[in-house]
Amino acid sequence: MRIVVMVSGSGTNLQSLLDAVRAGTLDADVVAVGADKPCRGIERASEAGIEDFVVLPGDYPDRAAWNRALEEKIASYDPDYVVFAGFMRIVDARLVARFERRIINTHPALLPSFPGAHGVRDALAHGVKITGVTVHLVDSGVDTGPILAQAAVPVLDNDDEQTLHERIKQEERTLLVTTIKNLATCP
């Protein structure tokens, strides 16, 4: 199974995938890691000897042109799956259609609650006692696609956004690997 992983940040979810592949517990090939900006995730790819690419929105005249460039770049690796592992950009419907039901996203909240870029902050502000992580297929909405897996994480009394997000990420790293493993055995 050929996977392209897209990142925007520290890349700890990417790292959990790379570690699982290296350990032989995930039968997949991470053929490239892409990003919308230089970031730690891209460094992790080069440390692992994996091809990386950055498609900067600022290099294109508009959102559509950036989407087409990203789409072609991803397609050039002929992936079976594209994993958005902390990729913080919204892609357009055409890109989603090109890889229909083959883009996986991980979101740090229990969807359909708290979609969007601030899932952890919004859950905390709402006062929920349980939040978590969702791994889902990407459709043309924002965090609306079919849910593949979820894990719950309790909110503790003294949590702030950072402590809560860190505990969610611990679950997220495991859930992402398990979900992709399941797709590999039962696509």
Q: Active-site positions? A: 107
CA 15, distance to chain mean position in Å, is: 12
For 5, the token pair is 């992983």
Task: Please state, as a whole number, how many other Cβ atoms lie within 10 Å of the Cβ of residue 123.
Answer: 26
Verify binding: residue 34, ligand GRF, rule CB under 6 A. no
Residue 39, token pair as written in the block: 């970031």
| Of the candidate residues 35, 55, 74, 108, the single one contacting ligand GRF (CB under 6 A) | 108
Per CB under 6 A, the segment of 5-13, 25-33, 61-69, 124-132 that binds ligand GRF is: 5-13
Binding-site size, ligand GRF (CB under 6 A)? 14
d(CA 178, CA 1): 14
Q: Is 86 in the site for ligand GRF (CB under 6 A)?
A: yes
Which residues does 185 contact at the CB level (< 8 Å), separation at least 6? none
* 91 labelled binding-site residue: yes
10 touches ligand GRF (CB under 6 A): yes
Binding site for ligand GRF (CB under 6 A): 7, 9-13, 41, 85-86, 106-108, 169, 172
